[in-house]
Amino acid sequence: MTMELIVGTFMFMILLALGYFTIVLGHANLFVKKFPLTVEFEDVMGLRKDDNVVQRGMTFGKVKSLHIEGDKVSVLCLLDSPVRLRKDYRITIVTTSILGGRYMEIKEGSPSADYLADGVTPQGERPYDLMAEAATVVHDIRFALNEGGILTNLESAIASAKDIVGKVNQGEGTLGRLVNDASLYTNINSLAQDARAVAAQLREITDRISKGQGTLGKLIQDDSVYTNVLAITANLRDLSQRLEDGQGTLGKLLSKDDQLYQDLASTAASLKDVTGKIQRGEGLLGKLVNDDTLYKDVKQALGEVRAAVDDFRETSPVVSFTSILFGAF
């Protein structure tokens, strides 16, 4: 009896300890009131009884039971505190790990939204199965590689790349010559040397300019050119001012006073009047230009003078002889 009592007492203590640790480790409280909530899902993605119900990142309930009702899965939850859902609520099933852990997350909605009417069963969102999506992606990739011709195209591309690399190694084509022909390096090196020489010459030129040597250097360093330009500008300004004031011949020609223009216009009118009179035969010059009688008279007079000269020339020997003859006596 003593041994049985000891064994019984020991087993009773073990059961008490097991019950205590079950309650403590399972966060179960048999004397706390629970608030039921039923949610309907199209698919629960492996959600199980006793999985956690989470709100705002904190566990505040457990999944009590799951059963199918028509085309829906009804999930009964026991919550530690009541929850009032608003019209923009969201209830989702979240995967905790790729090994299969799940929990149900409740978001009651924004404070500005209205509350959900009493008696309306909340509807959960279709869960997002990461493993299923990954399997689908892998399947699609495998199908694209095998059936879509990606592997064939990749093999062709690799073969083409291998052929191109072989030609480059053999020195074929422009790229092959660039890789294998050493003369290109020589040319580039020569070009670099020429570029360095040009840079040295440019540096020398800039040094000479900075020192004021040469025409360009003097233009940059010597301010006498600037002084001369200022003087020329001042002279031009003075000249333009004199022209504007009407000083000098050119200034008078460019002045705002139109006396010169009036004089020229008067002279032109006088010339026009004179030429008109000449054309009309007025005056001596007009008669000389338009009347041909004077021309005829002059021509006749010239003819008579010429005849007289000819007669004189013919009679001149006889007169000379007579003068000599009578002079001898």
Q: How would DSSP label each residue in 148-165? A: SSHHHHHHHHHHHHHHHH
Query: CA 217, 223, 224, 225 torsion: positive or negative?
Result: positive
Asked if residue 259 is part of any domain, the answer here is yes
219-258 confidence digits (pLDDT tens)? 677 677 677 777 888 888 888 777 777 776 666 666 666 6
Report percent pLDDT > 70 for the chain.
76
Q: Is 100 found in the same domain as 15?
A: no
N-term to C-term CA, the chain: 231
Asked if residue 237 is part of any domain, the answer here is no
Q: At what angle do helices 214-221 and 183-210 cross, to 10 degrees?
A: 50
From the centroid of its chain, how far is CA 150?
38
Asked if residue 89 is part of any domain, the answer here is yes
> What's the confidence (pLDDT) of residue 252?
66
> What's the confidence (pLDDT) of residue 31?
58
> What's the confidence (pLDDT) of residue 45?
85
Q: Is 160 found in the same domain as 87?
A: no
Strands 102-107 and 52-55: parallel
Region 278-289: mean pLDDT is: 72
Q: How far apart are CA 205 and CA 195, in angstroms?
A: 15
- Number of helices and strands (H, E) in the chain? 11, 6
Asked if residue 109 is part of any domain, the answer here is yes
Domain count, the chain: 4
CB 104 within 8 A of CB 54: yes
Please list, in sequence order, all residues whose beta carbon lies within 8 angstroms of the beta carbon of residue 66, skipping any fewer than 6 positions away.
Answer: 44, 47, 48, 49, 73, 74, 75, 76
The DSSP symbol for 79 reads: E
Asked if residue 324 is part of any domain, the answer here is no
98 exposure class (CB count in 10 Å sphere: 0-12, 13-18, 19+): exposed
Asked if residue 183 is part of any domain, the answer here is no
pLDDT reading at 138 higher than 80 = no
Asked if residue 293 is part of any domain, the answer here is no
10-25 confidence digits (pLDDT tens)? 888 888 888 777 666 5
pLDDT reading at 198 higher than 80 = yes
Residue-range definition of the domain harbouring residue 269 = 255-285
* Residue ranges with strand state E in 26-180: 35-41, 52-55, 58-69, 72-79, 90-95, 102-107
Q: Specify the DSSP element, H or E, that contains 18.
A: helix 2-25
